[in-house]
Every structure is written in C-alpha cells, then in structure tokens.
Structure 1
Amino acid sequence: MTEPKRRGPRQAEAERNDRALLRAARQVLADDGAHATVAAIAAAAGVGIGSLYRRYRTKEELFQRLAELSLDSWNQAAERGLAEDDPWEGLASFIVACVEFGQGSLAPIAGTIKVTKEMQAKSDHSDELLAALVARAHEARVLRPDVTVVDISLLIEQFGRSPALDQLRKQGREDLLEAAADAHRRVLAIAVDGLRACHPRPLPGGPPTDRLFTERWTHETG
C-alpha cells in the first residue's frame, strides 16, 4: 500500500494563496460587481498580482473558477437536502445553506464570461437536483403549489447578500455585525416560511421562467 504524497511547503502556500484569492474575489465582486479589478482582488487577498496571474491566466479564468465552486456548493447542498427524510426540511435546509454560502453573489458577472463545458455540466446537474427537491416537496404537499424551481432560485439570489451587513462591514462597525447577521437570518426564515403550503393567497403574476437565468449568462463576444 502506497502512502499518500505529502504536500511540500510551496504547494501548501500555493493552496492557501488560492483559497485567499477566491475568497477575496467573491468579496470584491460583491462590492464592485463586474467592474472588480485584478488589482483590487489581489490586494484584498494580500498577494501580488503576479501570484494571481500565476494561478489564473486571466480575470475571466478566475471568475469561471468561482462559478464552478459556487455550483459545486449548490449541488452539495441539494444532495444533502435530498438525503433528508423530511421533504420540507430538505428543501428549507438547502435554501439556507445556499444563502449562507452567498449564492447569487456572482450575478454581476453574468454575461461577462464564457460559460465553460464544466460550468454547463455542473449547472445542468444543479437544475436536476433542485427540480427533484421541489417535486418531492410538492408531492408531500408541504410546498405551496404555485412555487416553481425558478422562484426558489430567485429567492436564494435575493438573499445571497445582506445590504445591511455589507454597509456595516465597510463602515467598520464590528459592534453591529452580529445583530445584522441575526436580522438577515430572521428575514430569511420569514421568507422561507412563506413557501409553505398553508398559505391560501396565490402568488402575484405568472410564474417566472428560467430565461431570467439562462439569458443573463449568455456571453456576447465582439
């Protein structure tokens, strides 16, 4: 039996830098949107621009990697939700996990980067998993019948960020961060509870279609 190879100090440092870059890129994207610069990302990560470009040849490649990791997190949360015995708990825990991860924070780069084959494959799988979660909740009659897969996706995107938390972080108000995080969790719980089948009033308007997502991510060249 062969022993697993131990990581050398350089490899360990490279992995730490990579994790720091990805965390920083997500935060800078949340703050600056599609105008996020490589310099700002490198500065936020505490690494030089050269280190960033040694790992990712272009800003697009970095953003594509972020998108893949986001889809991985989504799929893992969905699989955990499907493993839950209770259909409602499975769906609710999936929504909360996605919001806590910050799903939706990559929305500003929609349409600005090319969707790779890996991204598309992971996205297709995420659609299948969420459809299974929603179908199971509908079959158990715990989810209001007019709620669709796209409704769930949009809810996660809307709650993926907290404007109050973002503003307080920029202001350096450490004394209010915990209260703002608690408030965000409370409002999310209220929204998730609104998905329950016990609510008799129908939702306004027609159900949204997946065009709200697919067409935003269409990358126009030229």
Structure 2
Amino acid sequence: MSRSGRRAPRQAEAERNDRALLQAAREVLAADGAHASVGAIAARAGVGIGTLYRRYRTKEELFQRLAELALDSWNEAAERGLAAEDPWQGLTDFITACVEFGQGSLAPIAGTIEITEEMRVKNERSDELLAALVDRAHRAGVLRPEVTPVDISLLIEQLGRSPLLDQLRGQGRDDLIEAARAARRRVVAIALDGLRPCHARPLPGDPPDSRLFTERWERPADR
C-alpha cells in the first residue's frame, strides 16, 4: 500500500474524531457551562484525552474553534435567508437554522476566551448579514417595526438552548429525544409568530443595546 493510501484512513478517522469532539463540546457546554472539562468532552465523544489534545492544544483553542464554526453556520444561514425570495421565509428559515445548530449553547464561554482575529472578522460579517435580513423584512412589512437585530440575536440564543434536550441526553433517554425536538419546533413556531407585525400591543421597554453581546465577550483582563 502506498504512503498516501495508509494516510487516507488515518485522516478520515481524525476527521471523524474531530466532528465527534466538536459535537460533544457543544453538548457538554450546554449542560455544564464554561466549567465543562476536557475529560467530560472526550468521554462524550468516545475518544481519549490524548486524542483531544493532539487536535487542540488547550481547552480555549477548542472553544475558539467552536465559536468560529458557530459564526460560519450563522453566516451561511443568513446568506441563504437573504437569497430566499420571500423576506419572511428568509428571516424565519435563518432563525430556525441557527436554533437547530444550537447557537445559544456557546453563551457560557462568553468572556472566558480570547477573541481571535478570525472570530472578529466573521462576527462583523454576521452583524452585517443579520442587519440586512431585518431591514429587508421591515421594508417588506412582514416584521414588527420595533424588532431589532439584537432582539433576533437574543431570541436565537434563548431558543437555541434546550434544557429538556440536555436533560434527556444526560439521562440517556434516546427514546424521548425526537419527541423533545418536535416539541421545541412547536415552541420555535410560537415564538416566530410573535415577530409578525399584526400584534397590537407594543414590545415592553427600550430596544436592547448591542453592548449586551459585545461587552459580554470581553474578558475581565481586557476591560
């Protein structure tokens, strides 16, 4: 067998392990927060800690990679939403995709990791895309006029975290997982209906400030 032939199976295994580690890290983060241990992540992924450290030198590096992938997923979903012919469908498809990806599961690491330049650039792009989605929906008259991009971001974060799913996974209740996912889809649909402009009662309070996101991701030493 050629050297490249020997390398291909190893590379495929490394990629499978990486996918398993990233998925496990998201799930453990959702359950344990920023205190999630590398041991728990490796165990959830079904690999040894050595495998984790061969791919990621530190826990912070693993979490940075998670953040980059979350931003990639967000931006891809936003671009698909902007490409949709119907502004309402484009916006709601974007929100649904972000919720299903589990964007809210990364909230616990805010302020605990260094923001890389790649994360910063991707985040700026995500802000631009979301603003465009919201502006297009407003101009089409399909979104409540008082709803802001920050409102949408907060909604995604809240809906993207599912205590029910996390608990059932922790209990090993695979028989109830699909029912829990179906229940969450109903809750998301109910929440999305609240974004429509037909509601007579205005939203309470002033629109949330973007600092709720930007300053939360600053580490204490950087303030």
Cα distance in 1 for residues equivalent to 2:197 and 2:167: 35
- The match for 2:191 is 191
* The structure with more helix, counted as a fraction of residues: 2
**Structure 2 residue matching 1:217: 3-state secondary structure:** coil
Structure 2 Cα separation of the partners of residues 204 and 189 of structure 1: 21
Give the match for residue 127 of structure 1: 127
What is the aligned partner in structure 2 of residue 220 from structure 1?
Answer: 220
2:165 maps to amino acid: L
String of CA shifts for 1:137-188, please: whole Å, max 9, x gaps.
Answer: 0001110000000000000000002212222222233333222221111111
Q: Give the distance between the partners of 1:164 and 1:90, measured in 2 at CA.
A: 28
- What does residue range 126-165 of structure 1 map to in structure 2 within 5 Å? 126-165=126-165
Q: In the aligned structure 1, how far is the partner of 2:55 from the partner of 2:175?
A: 37
- Report the Cα distance in structure 1 between the residues aligned to 2:53 and 2:131, rounded to whole angstroms: 38
- Confirm or deny: 8 A CA contact 2:150 2:210 kept in the other structure: yes
Residue 79 of structure 2 is aligned to residue 112 of structure 1: no
**Gap runs ≥5 in structure 1:** none
Report deviation, 1:51.
1.2
Query: Partners of 1:18 and 1:174 in 2: how far apart?
Result: 23
Displacement after TM superposition at 1:202 (Å): 0.4
Instruction: Give the secondary-structure state (helix, strand or coil) at the position aligned to 1:142.
Output: coil
**For 1:17 and 1:179, how far apart are their aligned partners in 2?**
28
Cα distance in structure 1, aligned partners of 2:63 and 2:31: 15
Q: Secondary structure at the match of 2:217?
A: coil
1:40 and 2:40 correspond: yes
Give yes or no for contact 2:21–2:52 (8 Å, CA) kept in 1.
yes
- 1:83 is aligned to 83
Alpha-carbon separation, structure 2, partners of 1:145 and 1:173:
42
Provide the C-alpha distance between the structure 2 equivalents of 1:176 and 1:45, rounded to a whole number of angstroms: 21
For the residue of structure 2 that corresponds to 1:221, the secondary structure is helix
Q: TM-score, normalised by structure 2?
A: 0.94
The unaligned stretches of length 5 or more in structure 2 are none
- CA–CA distance in 2 between the matches of 1:149 and 1:220? 26
Indicate if the aligned counterparts of 2:81 and 2:94 stay in contact, CA closer than 8 A. yes
**Over aligned residue pairs, what C-alpha RMSD do you find?**
1.4
Letter in 1 for 2:10: R
Q: TM-score, normalised by structure 1?
A: 0.94
Distance 1:215 1:145 in 2: 26
Which residue of the partner structure matches residue 26 of structure 2? 26
Count of equivalent residues: 218
1:11 match: 11
3-state SS of 1:105 partner: helix
Q: How far apart in 2 are the matches of 1:82 and 1:203?
A: 26
List structure 1 segments (4+ residues) > 6 angstroms apart after TM superposition. Answer: none
8 Å Cα contact 2:165-2:180 kept in structure 1: yes
Measure, in 2, the Cα distance between the counterparts of 1:129 and 1:208: 19
> Following the alignment from structure 2 to structure 1, what is the Cα–Cα distance between the partners of residues 52 and 169?
25
- Three-state SS of the structure 1 residue aligned to 2:221 is coil
